Every structure is written in structure tokens, then in C-alpha cells.
Amino acid sequence: MLSKKVLVSGLLLSVSGLTFANQSCDDTALHEDMSMLKTEMKSLAFDVKKENFTSADERIDTIISVLKEAREETPYLFEEKGLSGDKLAARQADYQSVIDDTIAAFMALDGALEAEDSSKAKTMLGEIGNLRKKGHRAFKSDC
């Protein structure tokens, strides 16, 4: 029978291996950008719901800036799949297209906020949510 020390050591190595495997995608600039977007989006949705248009407008400026930074990053999924050359370029172009569509949606939301049109703003938030889902399904790694 195996000793308890051997079993515990094996378990610790297994768990630490999983931890190190997951650190790669969590330590990227894109992951940091997406975490910031998640926080800003929650606050933005609250501001829109409360019709705090000034605060929401400021959040949109921040979000668009972060999206522009994220556009220049490469999703970890591409690295994980070992993409290179033409395949990498094509997938990167797809990723940037979704980011561009998302930026355009935020600009439309900004226009709705400037017009203080809360109905249009809520519609745009729904569209942005759909774009987020589309992007995550296509480009988010399972880590």
C-alpha cells in the first residue's frame, strides 16, 4: 500500500500543475483588459438603469479606450492552439473585427446617452451583450 506521504505528494503535484497551467492565460494583458471591462460594464449598466447619463458617458470613454488596447492583443486561445502564419493572421483579423463592432456599438450607446434616450441605451446594452457572447464563444480560452 502506498504511504500517505506519497499520496499527498502526488496530489499536491497534480494541483500545482493545474495551477501553473491556468496561470498563463490569466497573466496576459488581454485578461487584465477584459477584467477591467467586466467591472466597467457592470457599473455602466447600473448607470444606464438609473439614468445617470453623465457617469455612464465617462464609463464609455474608459471602455472604448480599453477596447482599443485589447484590439492590439492576441487572444491566449491562439497561442494555446499554436496558430501561426496565415491562420493566425486570419483569426486575429476576425478577433479585431469583433472588437471593432463592439467599439461601434459603444459609440452608438454614447450617442443614445448624449440624447438621454434611455430606451435606445438599453437596446444598445443588449446588442453589446450579444457581441460579448459572440467574442467569448469564438476567442476565449478554457482556462
- 8 Å CB contact between 103 and 67: yes
pLDDT at 88: 94
pLDDT of residue 60: 96
Question: Which tens digit of pLDDT belongs to each residue from 106-127?
Answer: 999 999 999 999 899 999 999 9
Domain range annotation of the chain: 26-139
pLDDT on residue 82: 92
What is the reported pLDDT for 43? 96
Q: Annotate 75-130 with DSSP letters as a single string.
A: -HHHHHTT--HHHHHHHHHHHHHHHHHHHHHHHHHHHHHHTT-HHHHHHHHHHHHH
109 and 124 in contact (C-beta within 8 Å)? yes
- Give helix 118-139 / helix 29-49 axis angle, nearest 10°: 160
In the numeric block, the cell 444598445 is attached to 124
- Distance between CA atoms of 128 and 143, rounded to whole angstroms? 24
Mutual orientation of helices 118-139 and 85-114 as an angle, nearest 10°? 170
CATH, range 26-139: 1.20.120.290
Over the chain (143 residues), the average pLDDT of each successive run of 10 is: 49 43 69 93 94 94 96 92 94 96 96 94 94 90 72
pLDDT value of position 140:
84
